[in-house]
Amino acid sequence: MEAERGWEEMDMDCLVNIFGRLGLEDLTLGVPFVCKTWCAAAVDPLCWRTLNLRDMDFMPWSNFAKSFVSLYSLPRFSFSGFLKFCVARSHGGAVDLEFPPLLSASSDDLLYIANECPRLQRVVLPNILSEDEPHLPEIFAKWKDLEWLEMATKPSSFLEVVTQISASCKNFVGLSMSGSIKKRDAMAIVELLPQLKCLCLNKSYLPKEELLIILSGCKNLERLSVKDCVGFELDVEVMNRGKGVGVFEREGSKLFDEFGYETDECDPLYVHVI
């Protein structure tokens, strides 16, 4: 008889463990519509601790959007609506959130998540609209457990963001972003994020002086990635300063780019497309 038992009779804890490893598309469009038992397991908050939206297609004409609207009897699809759907399923227990890279995150969406998901430990953000950047410090103040932050580009409010992270996020150890790294940015990273273990500045404008500040000041760095950067070349001084970092990735970086940039000011449009 045991051999004839169906999947729907599996212990609920086992089903939750399995479904928690699935992507959000399966959790929304597939599993809940198999049977009542699977539906009950699929809505368990433990299945929604990781909200990985990175590889999903949220265009209104996409197969996912059209299927979601149909299955849940909605008048239309919106990214903000789906985000709230996922957050509600998590019951505030989400610890990992990745936005899709091609969508801009509004301050309303971010503030909603900050209020409803205060336990986030890892956040991957897309581009932030310039008018929404002033809200970032307020948002990070709510994520006390934040350990890792990835931003598509360095926000204009970067100094305020780092100051807030330093004050609120005592377990913060990882930062990834791309942009024009100035001396004040490098100093803020060194002085305000002393426990930083991983720093990724790939595809940034990073002059040698700023790189040396980071290499000398970030005493706990285990990994530094500055691949495909413009502003420094690998010389003896950089190599010697980098010996204290466990993993120092710098492939593809060069002093000048093909347009001949050599100042500490870099065209921000260039930074985004290299």
Q: What contacts 170, CB < 8 A, 6 or more positions away?
A: 144
Residue 26 lies in a domain: yes
Same domain, 97 and 219: yes
CA distance 274 to 215: 24
Same domain, 31 and 131: no
Q: What is the pTM of this model?
A: 0.85
Question: What's the DSSP call for residue 244?
Answer: G
Token pair, residue 218, equals: 């970030």
Same domain, 110 and 13: no
Same domain, 135 and 235: yes
Average the pLDDT over 254-264 and give the result: 62
Per DSSP, the residues of 79-90 read: HHHHHHHHHHHH
Residue 177 lies in a domain: yes
Residue 261 lies in a domain: yes
Contacts 24+ apart (CB under 8 A), 253-260: 253/206, 253/226, 253/227, 253/228, 253/229, 254/229, 254/230, 255/208, 255/230, 255/231, 256/230, 257/230
pLDDT tens per residue across span 51-110: 999 989 999 899 999 999 999 999 999 999 999 999 999 999 999 999 988 777 778 888
Same domain, 130 and 88: yes
Residue 69 lies in a domain: no
Q: What is the CATH number of the domain that holds 229?
A: 3.80.10.10
Number of domains present in the structure of the chain:
2
Residue 67 lies in a domain: no
Residue 247 lies in a domain: yes
Does residue 200 register a pLDDT over 70? yes
Around Cβ 35, how many Cβ atoms within 10 Å?
13
- pLDDT at residue number 270: 35
Chain-wide mean pLDDT for the chain? 88
3-state secondary structure at position 230: strand
* Domain limits for position 262: 48-61+75-273
pLDDT tens per residue across span 34-45: 888 889 999 999
Same domain, 32 and 148: no
Does residue 265 register a pLDDT over 50? no
Residue 68 lies in a domain: no
